[in-house]
Structure 1
Amino acid sequence: MNILQYESKVWATADLLRGSGIKESDWPSYMMPFFALSMIESRLIRMYDDLKSEIGEDVFASIPKEGLNGIIKDKGQGYNIYIFEHGKTLADICKNDKSFEIDLDAYLDGFDGETKDLLGIDDDEGEKFLDIKGIITKLKAKKVLFSYTKLWAEIDLKSFNNSEITTLEEHIKRKWADISAETAGEQYTPDDVIALIAEIIASKIEESDTLLKIYDCTCGGGNMLFGVEDRINQKFKRLTQTYGQDWNDALYALAKIESRFREDSKIEHGNTLVDDKFYNEEFDVVVANPPYGVSWKGYKKDIENDKTERFRFLPSVSDGQLLFMQHLISKLNSVGVGVVVHNGSTLFSGDAGSAESNIRKWMLDSDIMEAVIQLPTDEFFNTGIYTYLWVLNKNKPLQLKDKVMLINASEKYRPLKRSKGSKRKEIGEAKRLEIVEILKEYKNTDYSKVFNKEFFYYNKQAIMLTNVDEYGNSFEAQLPLVVNKKTGLKERTSSIKLKPTKLSNGERELTEFVITTFDTVKYTSLADTFERDIKPFTASLNYKEQPLVITTATAMYWFDVDQETLTKEVNGQKEYLGCGKILVNSTYKKASKTSPERIEISVELTPDYQKDYELIPFHRNETANQAAVEAFMAKYITKPFTYLENIVGVEINFNKIFYKPTNLRNVADILAEIEAIESELKALEARLAL
């Protein structure tokens, strides 16, 4: 029997929810606990039957009840008094509708403590996880508890093994993902992507008698973690052990329940970024699909005060993806490999010097990045965007040292016959193997490019430009030379301060530059005059856009927009001083022992400096890199400038690397086609006229 025949039967339970007026987005929260209940019961009964077969019918029958119960409990897969001591199941409870509610309470209360916690059976305070008690209360209020439980009791999974039940679970969780990205689908990864990740991991590991430890820091319901383990177990005889952690109560409970039926699997509850439950563990394999664009503002202080040293840089608080990336890298052992799913922002968000850029640079500097694979759009259930697999490898072969491969697998898909939410494409087995083969060959093809890691680095060179007028002159030449008392060298001052007698901008004139009185009708104080009048007025002055004229006792000054120069006029004679700025500042000063309360307005002339940034290709060799920067400046920068800081940034731009320009049609062909259409239209008009 194919277990997937039960998919429709499981999903049919939602019909009763629909009929009860429960909105679709809430269905997963009603279905999860009962699906978990069905899985637990079927696996406990299967475990019981396997134990009977393993020990032998006669020996099994001779074991005292206490001893048998002890054997079952020692397996750590759970226990239920109703099932093992009374021989009754959920289906048996549903045979008597009169005693159903009493029997259901006793059945649920018969589970071991951990199972009761995960299902949310007890009413005490703390995490509710699957909150089956709360759901039962709501179903009672709708008067459908018996009918709903009976539907689930009819789903008999006892004849299926763990792997088969996991397959059904993945399909059900995918349906939940279609309904609500905020519940079960929040971190759901499609089967075909999990299969591709498993194939990539399998290509990096070998048979060994050592344990293979697999870790997922955002495991959700465990579909990726357990899916990768199952596929590796199909290919290798090597022993595996899974470790996972998740913060979502319901998803954690599902993964924890699943883990109890796997060999020594460990699933923990909590926020990985602030409470790593496996802080002293390292792993051979890490896999994860961290949430995209999720803020970590709520626990910002915890991250900033983290003592584990796993976070070398802190990215924007609006997106924690690269926090998870740094955490995962810290969990890899010395020969570990990993595959992490991200959206495109982790490739290029953040300018040079930003945390995002520095994280990418650190990863490349550490030579842990082996490849990045662009997946097709419409691959995931809740988004149509491009997604990317980051392939991490702490044990890169020598020939791959300091290299990174980009694989454009955006066309490696087949369309689904029927869309599953936003998912309209899937990567079939043949395409998966093709992608893995491209990665193994590590060569340039139409779909892949291999680069030295420095290809992704770039210089962000800051410079201070000195703007000049149309004659190439700057006001800087007008600044007087003074002796620097510390160095003893002559240096130019930063500005020339004027002593104005009048300031005019065409609309208003100022003739007083130390103001001690104010209009008592308009303003309440001198400070009020400053805040409401003088300060906004001086802030609005623009010497390039207004006819701003500064008059002193000996000259007039203004900026000539046409010639881009400061102009000085004395007795009708103009002198061009070079490109510069007119700065007007105002300050309010309180009264002191020696000076009254006042507003001071100052005017100064300064050179027109402008900070700019140039993005320049990077060279590994320091001398060659500096030469490249200087060559770039000589070619593209025509104004005088001085070098400021140089920051090395890193970004990975798939579009730039794999861009294919559209082939434009020949104009003659287009005109011929238009002419043919016009002829056809004329023929049709002629026929209509008859």
Structure 2
Amino acid sequence: MSNLGNFVWGIADQLRGVYRPSQYGNVILPMTILRRLDCVLEPTRDQVRALAEAETRPEILDVKVRKQFGLNFHNTSDYDLARLKKDPDGLRNNLVDYISKFSANIDVFERFKFENEIATLEENNRLYIVVSQFADIDLHPDVVSNAEMGDLFEELIRKFAEASNETAGEHFTPRDAIRLAVDLVFAEDSDALTDKGVVRSVYDPTAGTGGMLSVADEHLKTRNPDARLNLYGQEINDQSYAICKSDMIAKGQNATNIKRGDTLADDLFAGQTFDYCLSNPPYGVDWKASEDAVKQEYDHGGAYSRFPGGLPPISDGQMLFLQHLATKMRPVGDGGGRAAIVLNGSPLFSGGAESGPSEIRRWLLENDLVEAIVALPTNMFYNTGIATYIWLLDNTKQPERVGKVQLIDGTGLYSKMRKSLGSKNRELTDDGRETILRLYDEMADDDHQSKTLTNDEFGYWTITVERPLRLNFTCTEERIDRALAAKALTKHVDHTRLRDALEDVGSKVYFNREEFLKVLYSSLRKHEIDLKTPQRKTLWLALGEHDDDADICYDKNGDPEPNPALRDTENVPFTYGGNAEGADGRDATVESYFDAEVLPHVPEAWIHLTKTKVGYEIPFTRLFYKYQPPRTLEAIDADLEARIARVLELLREVES
């Protein structure tokens, strides 16, 4: 495949001077697609032309071509690439005629704005050369398989992206990552892998060039040639959409199942659900462009929208796609569905209790939708070297998996590539993939590569711990200046008179608030200063400072007032102390934690119960962390001495 890719890339040499390297794809990609379609049509071209002459109604012609020749597209032009070569003078008009005579479902050349490129090529005497060279490539499916064609598209896109310093990973996902995701979603569907005539559907809301859909199709046909997989996808990028749609058409898929648009803003498969869902959404990309539509859907639909768990920060839309996939799985009553989505580490732990991300995790876990999460090796993707994870969702878990999540650490299961592709210098080996699948199948539970936890083990309560307000008070010059600078006291207050009143209180230090306030308010009245209640509070707070030896400040009900500066929070795991009741065991568990972990250190503290929040996080890295003790000083000294000895030896060699 690399030789074919190099051959096609070599045609780009004809574009030098006319196009910048970053623009080569505007010609090479649509011409590659055109040649692929041209080869697919070749065996039945004459019959279809004859049929088109007898049937002028496009919709009826579509049906007849599909029924008689098994093709989901056709072309009624008198031309093909071989015939186009025979008329160099009329090449431009004839080529435009050829691409315009494809059936209506072939809109890919419009997305590439290919007519503009044809004009540019002719004006610069490059059109005939490019068409002739592509006509000599045999891209028929019998010669170049669908899988190889997908690899060719990937190689071309990657090279063009590198030339323009764009992010290749925005358009496609590495095959090794896709194969693992596909293996995981198919892992428990024995019927699809064995029964004759079985039909399944796969959906990718971020289809890119169709890599995930293609691998899913190949996987099922390899295991069960009699199975049928209907492929559905939506993609926002014009060129990626064009490539994906062309590839699906060449595979015999229904072209209307590949749609172009912003999935978050406009679900073009609204109301449809699927057996399998796959996705590799962009990482850390904001969803501002979709914000109005997303918020409108959430505000009106809530739990019945595509985002029932809530909305993440506007800066990262990954968790919107995560929820979207969860709602696109076939309902339990219809047999259920499974989904695999590739995400970075942020969705595991970002956001505190009751934040958007935490609430989304809460919805997923409390509805028992997360079956497994697999950590992939770093540097596996073309555009990033950060940690990535495959989330596996299932709404009809096997009995032994109900209420549990399996975490699999596959970070060490890679081999180094001989040549880096962008940021990708590692690949998941076949053995590594088999190891992950075995761990998943066995539902292994060990300290090294696999752990299985209950959903409750990811939940926690964030409690607010208060400590009593203890202040000493005095009217030194420093504190008076601080008080007069307070915002609440800068307007409608005579600072000269207020300063006089505070100086009259004196610099005596008071350790009891009530005693101090009597003196303070008496001085304010003496100087005819009338402050409102909020202003009075601002004043005495500015004149006070924390003092552990001061008396506790009490409110009007006789309860200790909290000191906001000493306020703290603690996260109490749902399972602390062996709690097996989950959220129902909150009060007893929190009290037990507080008595054991807080009171021994701050005996005067108490819990502000109304501020208790529920949170969920998946501390993947911490769960697999293994403590490595630091090297001993003796070992370090020995290493240094050995290195010094080696340096001295080299110096002696130089001197001699």
* Interval containing the TM-score (normalised by the shorter chain): 0.7 to 0.9
The answer as to 2:635 corresponding to 1:669 is yes
What one-letter code is carried by the residue in structure 1 that aligns with 2:4? Y
Contact kept in structure 2, 1:214 and 1:243, CA below 8 Å: yes
Residues 550-589 of structure 1 aligned to structure 2 (within 5 Å): 551-552=501-502, 555-556=505-506, 567-568=509-510
1:133-177 superposed Cα distances (whole Å, 9 cap, x missing partner): 122233345442332333322222134354543443344344445
Q: Hey, what does 2:550 align to over in structure 1?
A: none
1:658 is matched with which residue: 614, 624, 645? 624
Give the TM-score of the pair, scaled to structure 1: 0.75
SS at match of 1:172: helix
Name the count of aligned residue pairs.
584
CA distance in structure 2 between the aligned counterparts of 1:579 and 1:339, rounded to whole angstroms: 66
Q: Hey, what does 1:318 align to over in structure 2?
A: 315
Deviation at 1:450, TM superposition (A): 1.2
1:119 is matched with which residue: 109, 123, 137? 109
Deviation at 1:274, TM superposition (A): 2.3
Q: Which has the higher strand share?
A: 1
Q: Hey, what does 2:539 align to over in structure 1?
A: 604
CA distance in structure 2 between the aligned counterparts of 1:382 and 1:64, rounded to whole angstroms: 46
CA distance in structure 2 between the aligned counterparts of 1:530 and 1:666, rounded to whole angstroms: 55
1:35 is matched with which residue: 13, 32, 36? 32
1:91-131 superposed Cα distances (whole Å, 9 cap, x missing partner): 3312443332232233233323332x3211xxxxxxxx121
1:336-375 superposed Cα distances (whole Å, 9 cap, x missing partner): 1111011111111111110101101111111111111111
CA distance in structure 2 between the aligned counterparts of 1:229 and 1:537, rounded to whole angstroms: 77
Do the aligned partners of residues 43 and 451 (structure 1) sit closer, same or farther apart at CA in structure 2, a change above 3 Å counting?
Answer: same
The answer as to 2:286 corresponding to 1:332 is no
Residues 248-647 of structure 1 aligned to structure 2 (within 5 Å): 248-265=237-254, 266-306=257-297, 307=301, 309-312=305-308, 313-333=310-330, 334=332, 335-445=336-446, 446-468=448-470, 504-505=477-478, 534=490, 551-552=501-502, 555-556=505-506, 567-568=509-510, 604-606=539-541, 607=553, 609-610=563-564, 611-619=567-575, 620=582, 621-631=585-595, 632-644=597-609, 645-647=611-613
SS at match of 1:257: helix
Contact kept in structure 1, 2:71 and 2:252, CA below 8 Å: no
SS at match of 1:81: coil
Q: Hey, what does 1:78 align to over in structure 2?
A: 73
SS at match of 1:438: helix
CA distance in structure 1 between the aligned counterparts of 2:535 and 2:204, rounded to whole angstroms: 64
Deviation at 1:38, TM superposition (A): 1.3
Do the aligned partners of residues 270 and 346 (structure 1) sit closer, same or farther apart at CA in structure 2, a change above 3 Å counting?
Answer: same
Residues 110-189 of structure 1 aligned to structure 2 (within 5 Å): 110-115=101-106, 117-120=107-110, 129-158=111-140, 159-160=142-143, 161-179=145-163, 182=166, 185-189=169-173
Give the number of the structure whose alpha-carbon radius of gyration is greater: 1
CA distance in structure 2 between the aligned counterparts of 1:157 and 1:289, rounded to whole angstroms: 28
CA distance in structure 1 between the aligned counterparts of 2:452 and 2:27, rounded to whole angstroms: 49
Contact kept in structure 2, 1:338 and 1:391, CA below 8 Å: yes
CA distance in structure 2 between the aligned counterparts of 1:650 and 1:278, rounded to whole angstroms: 31
What one-letter code is carried by the residue in structure 2 that aligns with 1:377? T
Do the aligned partners of residues 155 and 580 (structure 1) sit closer, same or farther apart at CA in structure 2, a change above 3 Å counting?
Answer: farther
CA distance in structure 1 between the aligned counterparts of 2:432 and 2:482, rounded to whole angstroms: 76
Give the TM-score of the pair, scaled to structure 2: 0.79
Contact kept in structure 2, 1:404 and 1:451, CA below 8 Å: yes
Deviation at 1:671, TM superposition (A): 2.4
CA distance in structure 2 between the aligned counterparts of 1:274 and 1:189, rounded to whole angstroms: 23
Contact kept in structure 2, 1:372 and 1:391, CA below 8 Å: yes
2:222 is matched with which residue: 198, 216, 234? 234
CA distance in structure 2 between the aligned counterparts of 1:684 and 1:9, rounded to whole angstroms: 51
SS at match of 1:20: coil
| RMSD of aligned residue pairs (Cα, Å) | 3.9
Do the aligned partners of residues 673 and 341 (structure 1) sit closer, same or farther apart at CA in structure 2, a change above 3 Å counting?
Answer: closer
CA distance in structure 2 between the aligned counterparts of 1:406 and 1:648, rounded to whole angstroms: 22
1:105 is matched with which residue: 72, 90, 96? 96
Q: Hey, what does 2:523 align to over in structure 1?
A: none
Contact kept in structure 1, 2:358 and 2:617, CA below 8 Å: yes
CA distance in structure 1 between the aligned counterparts of 2:130 and 2:378, rounded to whole angstroms: 38
Deviation at 1:223, TM superposition (A): 1.2
CA distance in structure 2 between the aligned counterparts of 1:579 and 1:10, rounded to whole angstroms: 89
Contact kept in structure 1, 2:72 and 2:252, CA below 8 Å: no
CA distance in structure 2 between the aligned counterparts of 1:154 and 1:387, rounded to whole angstroms: 41
1:637-686 superposed Cα distances (whole Å, 9 cap, x missing partner): 34434414111211122221122333433322332343444455556666
Do the aligned partners of residues 322 and 153 (structure 1) sit closer, same or farther apart at CA in structure 2, a change above 3 Å counting?
Answer: same
Deviation at 1:605, TM superposition (A): 2.3
Deviation at 1:580, TM superposition (A): 11
* Structure 2 residues not aligned, in runs of 5+: 521-529, 542-552, 554-561, 576-581
